[in-house]
Chain A
């Protein structure tokens, strides 16, 4: 860029050196106002007592102390979050892997893909109510079907002992298609000739799956596991619609508890502290998964 070019055309004042910064201005501004500022603000709020009506009052670590020593419900929601996460990951990930395995070897893929994608493009409120009718209605279709084979179904969502099972089932149903598509894309990227070579050497299909497919699928498994765990730990929209955390807090997970603490009870400082606790949990669990899966290989999984 010569000086004369600068004078002639204002558009040319954007040089190859300055252009990337200009293109990044929206992202950087957003990152400051809607990413960095909220993180700092809620860290500050977590050390205060604040009900949004009067100015925040600094109370140091009292919020954290309260959560861990004087709030049994918070600890119960952490346990519920653990049960929910183990449930949805433990059922959902193997199920979607199995489905991806058969899906990627089948015909009419466009048809199967369309059907299995229906739940993941449906809004969570509709999912919640659709399943509410299936499960909670005394004449719901699931218990009607169970009655046909002679089983008296439980009152799924109204019974503290089955509500969590029902919520896990619906969540798995909602995310099955997405994980299946991710796994089948991963399977599609594996070189088919490796399988052929193993087959010629006389390896059984089970052996091929364990020794070739799974190790090569590791990046996808890692991705699906980590995103599933993060989603499960921080999830509450479906539970809000289906059970609102009930009955008797049997489905009350930490993220839902935090939301209520903030916008119903207006305990914004304590809610911010609880949110940070959950964030730390998410980080630790993600790091642990990365280490285990990187070091131990897929056998660990």
Chain B
């Protein structure tokens, strides 16, 4: 990212200065300045047009969330609400089980994030800082496994959890009960490890100097101590990056959660919750309330992202440049 900010500074030199044109006085200089202006206008024209397209649907949602049902039912509907109905956001909590949905989202997403950070950091440390038999094989599996799309796993994973022995009333053969399907574990366990996370943490762990680890070994540190006291503190920015990527991905996850919670409404997260409102969405009287609910599901992630975006960008580019 240092590179980009450096470029941002040099880009200032690209900016045409109108005063130069008048001072130079020659037609050639005029033509050059004119071309620079044209480039400048095209450049920021493209960026601004794209930005409007990015923001417009969100703005449409927020404006919709502030309407009254009467405004929505008018023909044609009133687009700009006369008085912004801010209490629609409060109603999203009082009229819908929003608080339960958000609680489930926080529990599931938080647990997945913590577990993935631990498993990825441990495995990444082992793969980056040790030499052992089978290392290349495991590394290759980690890389290849990322290609397998998730839809392939939905059916078998569902039934692995359903027939989990000794859980949810199941006997040792996995018969008789519902297995893990009615518990938070059904939403967390299938994501306890991410191959991408293992790979990313390995890349970060490679930056830990071997001399530091060897010195600590001589001082009598245990292998786990090396991991916990030396490697982990050094890769803290990498942990933030991975944690943020995982948090955003799983806060927004819907297909698996929807599949599992169909029979367990008490586990529904906020994304599944708003998906369940689908049929109600077609009733125009409720639309403002639902647009408010959408906004509630979206805003926490956007705020988190805006605060930590430099970590996010680094995670994205590490996956591409070194992979």
Q: Which of A's residues lie within 8 Å of B, judged by CB?
A: 9, 11-12, 14-17, 19-21, 23-24, 26-28, 30-31, 33-35, 37-39, 41-42, 45, 52, 98-99, 102-107, 109-110, 112-119, 121-126, 129-134, 139, 141, 144, 173, 176-178, 181-182, 184-186, 188-189, 192, 219-220, 223-224, 230, 233-234, 236-237, 240-241, 255, 258-259, 262-263, 268, 271-272, 275-276, 278-279, 282-283, 286
Query: B51 touching A115 by the CB < 8 A rule?
Result: yes
Docked complex: B94-135 residues within 8 A CB-CB of A: 118-119, 122-123, 125-127, 130, 132, 135
- Contacting residues, chain B, for A104 (C-beta < 8 A): 4, 7
Q: Is the CB of A112 within 8 A of B7?
A: no
Give chain A nearest CB distance to B6 CB in angstroms: 9
Contact between chains at B151 and A129 (CB < 8 Å): no
Contacting pair B254 A102 (CB below 8 A): no
CA distance in complex: A291, B298 (Å): 40
* Residue of A whose beta carbon sits closest to that of B275: A125
> What band does the interface of chain B fall in when counting residues whose beta carbon is under 8 Å from A?
35 or more
- What residue of chain B has the Cβ atom nearest to residue A283's Cβ? B147
Expressed in whole angstroms, the Cα–Cα distance for A45 and B154 within the complex equals 13
Kindly provide the distance from the CB of A121 to the nearest chain B CB, expressed in whole angstroms: 4
Main secondary structure of the interface of B (DSSP, over half): helix
CA distance A181 to B223 in the complex (A): 38
Q: Is the CB of B150 within 8 A of A234?
A: yes
Task: Assess A121 versus B305: contact at CB under 8 Å? Given A12-B222, A33-B160, A263-B259.
Answer: yes
Residues of the B chain whose Cβ atoms lie less than 8 Å from the Cβ of A103: 47
| A16/B122 in contact, CB under 8 A | no
- Distance from B178 Cβ to chain A, minimum over Cβ atoms (Å): 13
Q: Cβ of A119: which chain B residues have Cβ within 8 Å of it? A: 54
What separation, in Å, do the CA atoms of A262 and B317 have in the docked complex? 36
B189 within 8 A of A: yes
Does B27 sit at the interface, judged by CB under 8 A?
no
A144 touches B51 (CB 8 A): no
Say whether, besides A103-B47, A104-B7, A181-B317, A259 and B151 are in contact (CB < 8 Å). Answer: yes
Q: Are B320 and A186 in contact (CB under 8 A)?
A: yes
B60 pairs with A133, CB closer than 8 A: yes
B252 and A185 contact, CB distance less than 8 A: no
Q: Cβ of A115 and Cβ of B55 under 8 Å apart?
A: yes
Any A CB within 8 A of the CB of B138? yes
How near does chain A come to B53, taking the closest CB pair, in angstroms? 7
Q: Say whether, besides A102-B47, A185-B320, A134 and B57 are in contact (CB < 8 Å).
A: yes
Q: How far is the CA of A112 from the CA of B14 in the complex (A)?
A: 18
Question: Which of B47, B55, B274, B306 has its CB near the most chain A CB atoms (within 10 A)?
Answer: B47
Q: Does B251 contact A (CB under 8 A)?
A: yes
Which 6 residue pairs are nearest across A and B when measured between Cβ atoms?
A185-B317, A234-B149, A38-B156, A123-B252, A19-B223, A20-B126
| B132:A112 contact, CB within 8 angstroms | no
Contact B149 A230 (CB under 8 A): yes
Q: Which one of A129, A139, A188, A268 lies within 8 Å of B294 (CB-CB)? A: A129
Residue of A nearest to B57 (CB): A130
5 other contacts beyond A42-B156, A115-B55, with CB at 8 A cut-off? A102-B43, A107-B11, A186-B320, A220-B321, A258-B151
